[in-house]
Structure 1
Amino acid sequence: MTTDDESKNAQPESLRRVQLYTDGACSGNPGPGGWAFVLRDVQSKKEREGSGAERETTNNRMELRAVIEGLKVLSRPCHVGLYADSQYVLKGLKEWMANWKKNGWRRKDGSKWVEVKNADLWQELDRLKNIHKISFHHIKGHSGHPENERCDQLAVAAYQNGSW
């Protein structure tokens, strides 16, 4: 049985397993922000880190960018264990995205329809999500989780050292 968490194109048992840890950070909201990921191949234990920054952004956009940039690194479909401290990202992927798509990337706000915030990033994430089998794991932020702390350090450093 295929679920929303599974790729429609790949056989799960043949997929390489990776862990993707992500975080976004912002100084002000909006303000300068950074995103970061740590990607680990479960079998080889090899890791890759990535980070970047934007001059004027929001924390939610940086949380989304971290996941997008981490998934974009993968050169083939994988089973991705996604670890994030952002309920916005995790609930968006697991619960909200299907209805947003069905409603033309709009959501109800009271009695009116409004565009989903960050629709451009959600649409890119939707495209990438369909390539991989993704399982979702919430990490409590700033709780001493080593990979989450590393992502936070990288994201903060990225916006503090931003070369706009």
Structure 2
Amino acid sequence: MTLFEAELKIYTDGGCTGNPGPGGWAAIIIASNHETCEISGAEISTTNNRMELTAVINALETVRRKFPCENSIEVITDSKYVQKGVSEWMSRWIARRWRTASGKPVKNQDLWMKLMKTNRELMIDWKWVRGHAGNMWNERCDELAARARAQLYPN
């Protein structure tokens, strides 16, 4: 169920060859007028989860710079780690001073803290979509992330 009609939709993806290993991330921002903006990047040594978070963070930073809106954004990710992290887990991590239920430090806290700040400032509806299941925007993000990752090690 959508909470509002989003002015912007953002599809994101991230991944690695090996985990950790070389990683890539990508996002596609779709404005209500159907204008699209594709962004991507890569890191030499990272994890899948860091790339998933990096994709979302970079997309939201791009929105702030290029797409003035009334803060109604729908983020669609194939990462339950990102979707559940923001929607369910983050408030408990914060209450426990960035500790998991077992008392261990939350992994990727630096990225979660960046995302937390943006999530508080914008009205974002977080959605999950099954990866590699035919969603054209999710498939395109996967392609862009893989291309960015491959540029680190050209054949």
Q: Is the structural similarity TM-score above 0.5?
A: yes
Say which of 15, 24, 35 aligns to 1:34: 24
Task: List aligned pairs for 1:1-164, cutoff 5 A.
Answer: 17-42=7-32, 44-75=33-64, 76=68, 78-109=71-102, 113-162=103-152
Partners in 2 of 1:124 and 1:162 — Cα distance?
25
Which stretches of structure 1, 4 residues or longer, exceed 4 Å deviation after superposition? none
Query: What is the alpha-carbon root mean square deviation over aligned residues?
Result: 1.7
- Aligned equivalents of 2:129 and 2:101: distance in 1? 29
Q: Hey, what's the Cα distance between the residues in 2 that align with 1:34 and 1:124?
A: 19
State the AA in 2 paired with 1:118. N
The structure with the greater share of residues assigned to strand is: 1
Which runs of 5 or more structure 2 residues have no equivalent in the other structure? none
Long gaps (5+) in structure 1: 1-5, 7-11
Q: Distance in 2 between matches of 1:131 and 1:20?
A: 16
Structure 1 residue 144: Cα displacement: 1.0
Percent identity for Structure 1 against Structure 2: 43
What is the TM-score of this pair, normalised by structure 2? Answer: 0.89
Give the 3-state SS of the residue equivalent to 2:138 in structure 1: helix
State how many pairs are aligned.
Answer: 147
Amino acid at match of 1:73: T
Q: Which residue of 2 aligns with 1:3?
A: none
